[in-house]
Amino acid sequence: MIGATIRKDLQLLLRDRGALLSLFALPIVFIVVFGSIFRFGGDRSQPRPLPVWHQPGDARALTIVAAIEASGAFAPQRHDSPEAVRSLVAKEKTAAGLIIPADLDPPAGRKVELVIDLGAPMQVRGPIEGALGAVISQALAPAGTAAQPVLEPRTPPGLAKPLANITGFQVTVPGNGVLFGFFIALTVAMSFTEERRSGTWRRLLASPVSRGAALVAKLLPFVVIGLGQLGFLFGIGALFFGMRVAGSVSALVVLSLAVVLCSTALGLAMAALGGTEKQLGGVGSVTLLVMGLVGGCMVPRLVMPEVMRTIGMAVPHSWALDGYYTLLVRTGTGLTDILPQLGALLTFAAGFAAFGVWKFRFER
Amino acid sequence: MSAQPQDGAARAAEPAIAMSLRSLGKDFGARTAVHAIDLDIRKGQILGLLGPNGAGKTTTISMACGVVTPSRGAVLVDGVDLAAHPRRVKAQLGLVPQELAIYQELDAVQNLSYFGALHGLRGAALRQRVDWALHLAGLTDRAREVTATYSGGMKRRLNLAAGLVHRPRVLILDEPTVGVDPQSRNHVFETVRELAREGMAIVYTSHYMEEVEQLCDQIAIMDGGKIVAVGALPELVAAHARGGLELELEAPAPGGEALTRALAAAAAHAELARDPARPQVVRCEAPARLAPLLAAIEDCGVRVARITSYQSNLETVFLRLTGKALRDAQEGA
């Protein structure tokens, strides 16, 4: 009996493509994605590029640059002006840069300027500030004397001023909000599958409701639910975890609406691809997890290598997070500051919706 | 093909036609599921739609209620074309799918309110119709309980109520009594009869031959995507089957080539029918030809174990027209 049961379950499993994908193919996808993030991000054999400016021939600056280079953690690249260094950081081409003044005198308050986004997550800022501070202090301090603080971190012009005393929740609340907000897509797709399976979809088609209206009516409740979900998560974040909104609250609502429209449209696209509830539960959920991972919901994209950051732009999660990050962290920001993110999210939504409508089979 | 007698005087006395299928057909790629069927259903009539698995019944029903778009032909309700006026026509149609097409997480009132709202019912009118449908389904006492807790029969009754909460002119029932207890089945029967008495036209498909015999005043038999016969039960029996004698052959006789040849030769005189599911049985619809048939069988060295007489019924008609017993046809469904 045991043998027959094992044989039967193996036969069933071998015919269940969704389960096979979940069990064997998707772990490989996770391994590749996680491996790509940490191979490039944390590999000491590939020093992080570090734009630097100092006066030509400045002996102490050259000492500092040599010490940094010798540390193996950074690859200093000299630029022609302080503005060039600040611009690179402001445009997020690099996480940090250094400006070494000619009259460098830390005890007198004239320190090395660390150009860095002070609104960046602590996972990004902490290691950079710590490593550079230690290397420069050692390079400057005479042997046997105590090292002094030598760095003055500053946000470059072009980036709105971040909130002071940012906590981890300022990052984890939107990260998880976006990750789980997009799971509404799975709920949408499974809802269509359940309606088809139970026969209620046939009843809907037999009613005097146009097919377009039936589709819209089926999707709209999920927009409301999705907005409620994000509102709940941000509300909990604000009430219990000290999360603050540095920018415009109304812009936050508009951004959330764009996120929910995008995730609902993604659900329609998934529903149009068909599949059983089991397949959706397996493949769909893991796909959404991978999208969230690549989009920076679990690991900040700033710590990812360039190639992974570029790939991340191909999923709506990264745009949503960028938008949230701007509004939650940078003071005085509003709708105009998140227009690129809004545009990208609505473009994704339109694309998903167009695919869904094109492929959706009412009479399946 | 019409479900009505074609006599002019009789036709004048009959109720008006509620639904007409005109050359209705459906292709799925290169495969034709339904050819081009014509069928009329009159007000107050219960039309039974029978056919083996794959005959095209569900496709026909789905086209009739606008769930599937026909490849050809038209569906008319009270003379109005479904394709031209889908909202107007669908408002007159009620569908009871074979599946339990209800939301089991909701209670009966919530289910019926939703399905009523889909048909444009609002406010007091909706509440009134919901109460009526609950009463009709015998669910008033359990109306506020989550339907997942209902028995199979209660769910079936709610499934029926959801299809008629808007009081359609034409009600289409697809296997409405699958898996229900006899009490609930009788309740469904009574409800269907009452609705028909009130003038509702009803299309009823069922796996159960006796249900169709008891309930339907017209029967259409489908096979291979076509309607192969239509009419009242006595008309169908008279036209397509008669009573006769059933010869049960001794095992292991059936299947021999000599016997097959002998039966084929005898069939020309004895009007034989064989049920593929019971190969040891030969039915002879012309008892006067029994003697030469017996001789032919005995010449093959086969003995007849038993001879019994039988009356023709819908099962006989179905077997004759489709070559399949309905029970076997449905087992594969």
pLDDT digits (tens, 9 = 90+) for A162-188: 777 777 788 889 999 999 999 999 999
| Contacts of B238 by beta carbon, 8 Å cutoff, 6+ apart | none
Residues A130, A109: Cα–Cα separation, whole Å: 19
If asked whether residues B68 and B165 sit together in one domain, one would say yes
Query: Does residue B323 belong to any structural domain of this protein?
Result: no
Q: Work out the end-to-end distance of chain A between its first and last CA atoms, rounded to an integer number of angstroms.
A: 39
- Are B65 and A206 a contacting pair at CB < 8 A? yes
Q: Is residue B332 scored above 50 in pLDDT?
A: no
Write down which residue in B199, B218, B238 finishes a domain: B238
Query: Does residue B320 belong to any structural domain of this protein?
Result: no
Q: Find the mean pLDDT for residues B43-50.
A: 95
Give all strands (DSSP E) within chain B, no chain letters. 17-28, 31-42, 46-50, 72-77, 80-81, 93-96, 170-174, 201-205, 218-223, 226-231, 244-249, 272-274, 281-284, 304-310
User: Which of B68, B69, B90 is facing A208, going by the closest CB pair?
Assistant: B90
Contact between residue B146 and residue B106 where contact means Cβ atoms under 8 Å apart: yes
Q: pLDDT class for B185, splitting at 50, 70, 90? A: confident
Q: Is residue A332 scored above 70 in pLDDT?
A: yes
User: In 3-state terms, chain A is what percent helix, strand and coil (to 5)?
Assistant: 65, 10, 25
Task: Determine the residue of chain A that is closest to B166 in CA distance.
Answer: A207
Sheet holding B17-28, edge to edge: B31-42, B17-28, B72-77, B80-81
Q: Find the mean pLDDT for residues A191-209.
A: 93
What sign does the dihedral A352-B105-B156-B182 (CA atoms) show?
Answer: positive
Local structure of A94: helix, strand or coil: coil
Query: Does residue B327 belong to any structural domain of this protein?
Result: no
Interface test mutation site (partner A, options B89, B95, B155, max chain A beta carbons within 10 A): B95
User: In 3-state terms, chain B is what percent helix, strand and coil (to 5)?
Assistant: 40, 25, 35
- Are A209 and B118 a contacting pair at CB < 8 A? yes
Task: Determine the residue of chain A that is closest to B104 in CA distance.
Answer: A198
Question: For A276-314, how does the pLDDT look when each residue is reduced to its tens digit (9 = 90+)?
Answer: 887 788 788 888 999 999 999 988 887 787 788 889 999
Tokens found for residue A113: 């300027």
Tokens found for residue A241: 């975890």
Q: Tell me, what's the pLDDT at A269? A: 96
If asked whether residues B140 and B230 sit together in one domain, one would say yes
Q: pLDDT class for B300, splitting at 50, 70, 90? A: confident
Report how far Cα B321 is from the mean position of its chain's Cα atoms: 15
Q: Tell me, what's the pLDDT at A42? A: 46
Q: Find the mean pLDDT for residues B19-37.
A: 95
Taking contacts as CB-CB distances below 8 angstroms, the residues of chain A near B101 are 198-200, 202-203
If asked whether residues B82 and B142 sit together in one domain, one would say yes
Local structure of B31: helix, strand or coil: strand
Q: Is residue B248 scored above 70 in pLDDT?
A: yes
If asked whether residues B157 and B259 sit together in one domain, one would say no
Query: Does residue B234 belong to any structural domain of this protein?
Result: yes
- Are A208 and B88 a contacting pair at CB < 8 A? yes
If asked whether residues B48 and B140 sit together in one domain, one would say yes
Query: Does residue B324 belong to any structural domain of this protein?
Result: no
If asked whether residues B274 and B226 sit together in one domain, one would say no
Q: A314 to each of A28, A162, A283, A286, how far by Cα in Å? A: 20, 27, 19, 17
Q: Is residue B272 scored above 70 in pLDDT?
A: no
Q: Cα-flanking dihedrals φ and ψ of residue A204, to 5°?
A: -60, -45
Q: Cα-flanking dihedrals φ and ψ of residue B241, to 5°?
A: -160, 155
Pairing of strands B80-81, B72-77: antiparallel
Question: For A79-94, how does the pLDDT look when each residue is reduced to its tens digit (9 = 90+)?
Answer: 999 999 999 998 888 8
User: Which of B68, B120, B163 is facing A208, going by the closest CB pair?
Assistant: B120
Q: Tell me, what's the pLDDT at B333? A: 41
The secondary structure element, H or E, covering residue A295 is none
Residues A79, A58: Cα–Cα separation, whole Å: 14
Which of residues A75 and A281 earns the better pLDDT score?
Answer: A75
Q: Tell me, what's the pLDDT at B256? A: 64
Percent of chain A with pLDDT over 90: 54
If asked whether residues B286 and B169 sit together in one domain, one would say no
Residue numbers of B between 5 and 64 with CB closer than 8 Å to A: 62
Q: pLDDT class for B5, splitting at 50, 70, 90? A: very low
- Are B90 and A207 a contacting pair at CB < 8 A? yes
Neighbours of A65 (CB within 10 A): 22
Domain span at residue B230 reads 8-238
Q: pLDDT class for B297, splitting at 50, 70, 90? A: confident
If asked whether residues B203 and B246 sit together in one domain, one would say no
Query: Does residue B93 belong to any structural domain of this protein?
Result: yes
Residue numbers of B between 299 and 328 with CB closer than 8 Å to A: none
- Are B120 and A204 a contacting pair at CB < 8 A? no
Min Cα–Cα distance to chain A from B62, Å: 8
Structural domains of chain A sorted by starting position, each given as residue range(s) with its CATH number in brackets: 44-154 (3.40.190), 165-359 (no CATH)
- The size of the A-B interface in CB pairs under 8 A is 57
Residues B317, B233: Cα–Cα separation, whole Å: 9
Predicted complex ipTM: 0.78
If asked whether residues B189 and B125 sit together in one domain, one would say yes
Which of residues A76 and B12 earns the better pLDDT score?
Answer: A76
Write down which residue in B238, B256, B285 finishes a domain: B238
Query: Does residue B325 belong to any structural domain of this protein?
Result: no
Min Cα–Cα distance to chain B from A192, Å: 13
Lowest mean pLDDT among A237-241, B125-129, B235-239: B235-239
Contact between residue B228 and residue B322 where contact means Cβ atoms under 8 Å apart: yes
Q: Tell me, what's the pLDDT at B14? A: 67
Taking contacts as CB-CB distances below 8 angstroms, the residues of chain B near A203 are 95, 97, 101, 115, 118, 162-163
Q: Is residue A45 scored above 60 in pLDDT?
A: no
Q: Tell me, what's the pLDDT at B89? A: 96
Contact between residue B25 and residue B73 where contact means Cβ atoms under 8 Å apart: yes
Q: What is the CA radius of gyration of chain A?
A: 25
Q: pLDDT class for A39, splitting at 50, 70, 90? A: low
Q: Find the mean pLDDT for residues B288-301.
A: 78
B115 touches chain A (CB under 8 A): yes
For residue B9, give the amino acid letter. Answer: A
If asked whether residues B197 and B298 sit together in one domain, one would say no
- Are B90 and A210 a contacting pair at CB < 8 A? no
Tokens found for residue A363: 């009479």
Burial B217-232 (b: 16+ CB within 10 A, else e): ebbbbbbebbbbbbbe
Report how far Cα B301 is from the mean position of its chain's Cα atoms: 42
Write down which residue in B178, B211, B238 finishes a domain: B238
- Are A205 and B66 a contacting pair at CB < 8 A? yes
For residue B269, give the amino acid letter. Answer: H
| Contacts of B237 by beta carbon, 8 Å cutoff, 6+ apart | B312, B313, B314, B316, B317
Q: Tell me, what's the pLDDT at B1? A: 44
If asked whether residues B276 and B198 sit together in one domain, one would say no
B163 touches chain A (CB under 8 A): yes
Tokens found for residue A187: 């709920």
- Are B65 and A199 a contacting pair at CB < 8 A? no
Task: Determine the residue of chain B that is closest to A201 in CA distance.
Answer: B101
Q: pLDDT class for A142, splitting at 50, 70, 90? A: low
The distance between the two most distant Cα atoms of chain B, rounded to a whole number of Å, is 78
Which of residues A268 and A148 earns the better pLDDT score?
Answer: A268
The CATH number that applies at residue B268 is 3.30.70.980
Q: Tell me, what's the pLDDT at A166? A: 74
Q: Tell me, what's the pLDDT at A278? A: 78
DSSP H stretches of helix in B225-284: 233-240, 257-270
For residue B131, give the amino acid letter. Answer: D
Q: A230 to each of A67, A170, A175, A183, how far by Cα in Å? A: 47, 14, 11, 12
B122 touches chain A (CB under 8 A): no
Number of domains in chain B: 2
Query: Does residue B106 belong to any structural domain of this protein?
Result: yes
Report how far Cα B314 is from the mean position of its chain's Cα atoms: 11
If asked whether residues B21 and B109 sit together in one domain, one would say yes
Pairing of strands B218-223, B226-231: antiparallel
The CATH number that applies at residue B26 is 3.40.50.300
Burial A127-153 (b: 16+ CB within 10 A, else e): ebbeebbebbbebbeeeeeeeeebbeb
A212 touches chain B (CB under 8 A): no
Q: B75 to each of B22, B38, B65, B95, B311, how far by Cα in Å? A: 6, 10, 8, 15, 37
Q: Find the mean pLDDT for residues A337-359.
A: 97
Tokens found for residue A87: 């611009």
Q: Tell me, what's the pLDDT at B2? A: 45
Q: Tell me, what's the pLDDT at B260? A: 72
Which of residues B244 and A131 earns the better pLDDT score?
Answer: A131
| Contacts of B246 by beta carbon, 8 Å cutoff, 6+ apart | B281, B282, B283, B284, B307, B308, B309, B310
Which candidate, B141, B117, B144, places its Cα nearest to that of B129? B117
Whole-number average pLDDT of chain B: 85
Q: Find the mean pLDDT for residues A336-340.
A: 95
Lowest mean pLDDT among B162-176, B225-239, B289-303: B289-303
